[in-house]
C-alpha cells in the first residue's frame, strides 16, 4: 500500500468479498454472513 487510505479501502473490499461473496466449502459453499445471521448464537440476547 502506498497510503493508509488505500490500505483501508482495499481491506474493507477484501473483508466484504470474504464474508459476503466468497463461498466457503466448510459452509456448504455458502458465504459466512448469511450463515452467521441465521445462527441461534448470533440472535441470542
Per-position DSSP letters for 7-20, written without gaps between them? HHHHHHHHHHIIII
- pLDDT level of residue 2 (50, 70, 90 thresholds): very high
Question: Of residues 37 and 19, which shows the higher confidence score?
Answer: 19
Enter the pTM of the model. Answer: 0.62
Closest of 2, 24, 1, 12 to residue 33, by C-alpha: 24
Per residue in 9-35, pLDDT tens? 999 999 999 988 899 898 888 888 876
Closest of 18, 13, 20 to residue 35, by C-alpha: 20
CA 3/CA 14 separation, integer angstroms: 17
The domains of the chain are located at 4-43
For CA atoms 15, 20, 21, 25, the dihedral sign is: positive
Amino acid at each position: 500500500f502506498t497510503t493508509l487510505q488505500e490500505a483501508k479501502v482495499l481491506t474493507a473490499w477484501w473483508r466484504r468479498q470474504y464474508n459476503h461473496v466468497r463461498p466457503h466449502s466448510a459452509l456448504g459453499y455458502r458465504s459466512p454472513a448469511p450463515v452467521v445471521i441465521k445462527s441461534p448464537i448470533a440472535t441470542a440476547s
